[in-house]
Structures are given as C-alpha cells and as structure tokens.
Amino acid sequence: QDVRFDGLKATFMGIWVLPNANSLDVIAEVRSVLPALEENMPAGLKLGIPYDATRYIQNAIHEVLKTLTETIVIVVIVIFLFLGSFRSVLVPVVAIPLSLIGGALLMFLFGFTLNLLTLLAIVLAVGLVVDDAIVMLENVERHVDEGLEPFDAALVAARELVGPVIAMTITLVAVYAPIGIQGGLTGVLFREFAFTLAGAVFISGFVALTLSPMMSARLVRRESEASSLKHIVDGFFSKLRSSYELGLGHALRFRSAVLAGAVLLIIAMPALYLFSMKELAPREDQGVLFGIVQASPDAALDQTTLYTEKVNEVFESFPEYDHSFQLTWASFGFSGMIAKPWSERSRTTLEMEPEAWMKASQVPGVRVIVTTPPPLPGGSDFPVEFVISSTEEPQRLYELAQQFVGAAFQSGKFMFADADLKFDLPQSKVVI
C-alpha cells in the first residue's frame, strides 16, 4: 500500500464513529489530542487531518442557525407590520422563544441531539408557533374595540378560542407526528424532525391559551388610543378587503370557469406527480471530491501509484484545490481533493465533478470514477443500480451484464456504468 498527503509520503489512520456517538464530539476530542501526540513525534514528522467529514456538518449547522436568526427577524417584522403596534407585537413574539424552549425540553426528554433535522424543525416551527398567539391577540383586540375592558376581553376571547386553538394544535401535531412513527428509512431519518416540530407546536397551543390572553389584557389598547401606524395598517387592510370582495364577486359571477379550473388542477395532479423528478435526498456540496482508480488485476503497486498521482494532478489543477490525499493498492487507487472553504470559492464540488471526471478519464490504462460523498450515510454512490439473477452459468451471466453495460453507454444518459461480476484475473493451468 502507498499513502500520500499533498504528494508527500504518509501513513493513514481512519477513524469511524460508532452509531451512538456524536461526530462533532469525536472530532473535537481527536483534535484536542493531536498537539500532544505531535510533540512526542520524531523531528520532521507531522500530523494532519486530510479529510474531516464534520466540516460539512459544521458549515450546514452554521447556515441553519443563520437562517433561524433571519427567520425570527422576518417573522417579527411581518407581525409588526400587520398588527401595527409595538405593544401588540410582544404577545406573539414572546410565544416564539417559549415554544422553542418547550420544544427543546421535549428534545432533551426524548434524547434528541441538536442536528440538521432538529434545527430545520425549529426553523419551520418559528412560523407556526405564532399563529395561535396572533389569533388570540386579534380576538382580544376585537372585544376591546367593542367596549369590554381588556381583562374581561381576554377572558371572553380565551373562552371563545379554547376549542379552535386546541383543534388547530391537534391538527398540526397530527400532520407531523405520524412521520416520526413510520417504519423504514423515512421514520429513521425524520423521527427527530417530526417530534421536535410537533412538540414545539403543541407547546405553542398551551402558550396561546395561558400566557397570550394575560399579556393581551395588559398590552391591548382601545382603537381610539391606537398609534398612527395602527391606523395606517387598518387603512391598508380595508383597501385589501375591498379588493378581495371585488375579486370574489367576479369569481362568483363566473362560477363555471372557476370550478372548471379547479377540476382541471385536480385531474392534473397525478400527471404532475408522475412526471416530477424524484430522489431520496439531494446531493450537496460537501467540500470534497473522490477519485476511484481501477487498474488491471495484474497491475503492480508502482504502476497504480503512478496512475493515482495523475488523478491527483487533475485535482491540483483546480483553483478550488486546498489539499489532497491518495491511498493506492496493487490494482486499486483512491484519491480525494479537499476543496477550499465554501466562502473562498464560487463553484461547488458538484459543478467541478463533470470537469474533473472528463480530465481524469484521459489518464491511460485505468478507469477512473470521480464522485462526491453520498448525501445520506450508507447511501450508494450510484443513483441507479440493477441486479441480474439467472440460473445460467456465470459466464453467460457475465455476457448479459456486459451487454447491459454497453446498452447503458450507448443510451448517452450515463457517465459511468459497470458490473461487479468479472472474469479478468490472470491464471495459468498446469497439467502434469
């Protein structure tokens, strides 16, 4: 075996995380012990991490946290613009952190971690948890405008909305929670997402029936005491209501056309579903490109090493190149290009992949596959796979497989096709 890091001789040690371990914690502990290990090494030797899969995870979590912050800010601005009062906006805004904290508590009780799926659930929950509080606030404002004192208006509004709020909450929970109890891969992937989102929505319903009425009793003012911004917002909605009434009138006058359009959309739904592109998970820019080198079975280690170096030279020609590594065996080579951080490059690894594959395919004497890590752990690198089974002899099965591979290339729709059944090992038959 031959191992290189940035073209220099190296030795390789791979670290695989146990199923019940946290990748970010493991890499943090590994990095913490590296300085002490390097101090005790002979002069001239260095330790490095050529490939760190958690770099992509950390960047993705950072982006989700950034999105969460932006979402909260946008939701607060939208609520303020629609309510038109700094005092009123506090009621739904307070519901956001309380609901998210409640959801985080449920995450802790269920043993969930703060990962991409739970963070995405929190981002989605921000827009859902304010609904009940806004409905409660609007109902309190309506009763105050009709003459009730704020405290009495809050009591009446809460009594009126107990049923609707509970129904809204149960409906949303009933939509998301079943995803988490599904079997198979879907249940495993989205269990934490579904339960985190359902938990945050459930807590928001409780907050809307308890804290929101009490805050409304203190913060809601009569229409005559409302701010000028409130009057501007109300005027805007009055015009919007008039426009809606006008549009609704036109729709009612042409009921046949409206119903025909609705029927056509319903009829088109199966076709739209069937012709939509489908995939389990989209491919992502994980900051790395892999090159798999397949040499002839009787190739020598030095020969395959030379071929793998040629693939690495292809990687080094990219301006997005940061580091590279290669592991070479007698008839097989594996190399990787670590791209520069996402903020320092304009192209993604998915955009570089076809170009790298085209250049690497020009290396003579070997077959090269350029690919990216699968989007899901344990996923296959190949989007389409077939199994050919037969009672025929292996040689006949091999012929069928090669015909299938040839047809795949002739279709012009595949960059790479291969069969794992091979009759290419050199052998000699000696008869005495």
**Number of independent structural domains in the chain:** 1
159 within some domain = yes
Residue 203: inside a domain = yes
The reported pTM is: 0.70
* Residue 211: count of CB within 10 angstroms of its CB: 16
What was the pLDDT predicted at 315? Answer: 92
Q: What does DSSP assign to residue 319?
A: T
Residue 173 maps to which CATH number? Answer: 1.20.1640.10
Examine the pLDDT at 262 and tell me if it is beyond 90: yes
Q: Please state the length of the chain.
A: 432
Domain-embedded: residue 155:
yes
Angle at 379 between CA 377 and CA 380, to 5 degrees: 145
For residue 24, tell me if it sits in a domain.
Answer: no
User: Is it the case that residue 355 has pLDDT exceeding 60?
Assistant: yes
Task: Please give the Cα distance from 141 to 69 (Å, whole number).
Answer: 29
* Both tokens assigned to 413: 């729709």
429 assigned to some structural domain: no
Give CA–CA dist 32/243, Å, rounded: 64
pLDDT tier for residue 426 given thresholds of 50, 70 and 90: low
The per-residue pLDDT for range 323-335, each reduced to its tens digit, is 888 888 888 889 9
Max CA separation in the chain (angstroms):
113
> Between the CA atoms of 123, 127, 129 and 134, what dihedral angle is there, to the nearest 10 degrees?
160
24-47, pLDDT tens digit by residue? 888 889 889 888 888 888 888 888
Per the structure, the complete domain to which residue 179 belongs is given by 56-221
Confidence of residue 232 (pLDDT cuts 50, 70, 90): confident
Instruction: Evaluate whether residue 65 is within a structural domain.
Output: yes
Residue 431 lies in a domain: no
The DSSP string of 320-384 is TEEEEEEEE-SSEEEEEEEEPPGGG-SS-HHHHHHHHHHHHTTSTTSEEEEE---SSTT--S-S-
Nearest to 350, CA basis, from 279, 417, 284, 281: 284
**Residue 78 has which token pair?**
């939208």
**Coil/strand/helix, residue 182:** coil
Q: How confident is the model at residue 22 (pLDDT cuts 50, 70, 90)?
A: confident
> pLDDT tens digits, residue range 77-135?
888 877 777 788 888 888 889 988 888 888 888 888 877 788 888 888 888 888 888 89
Does the residue 51 lie in any domain? no
Q: What pLDDT sits at residue 7?
A: 84
> pLDDT category, 263, cuts 50, 70, 90?
very high
Contact indicator for 143, 156 with CB cutoff of 8 Å = yes
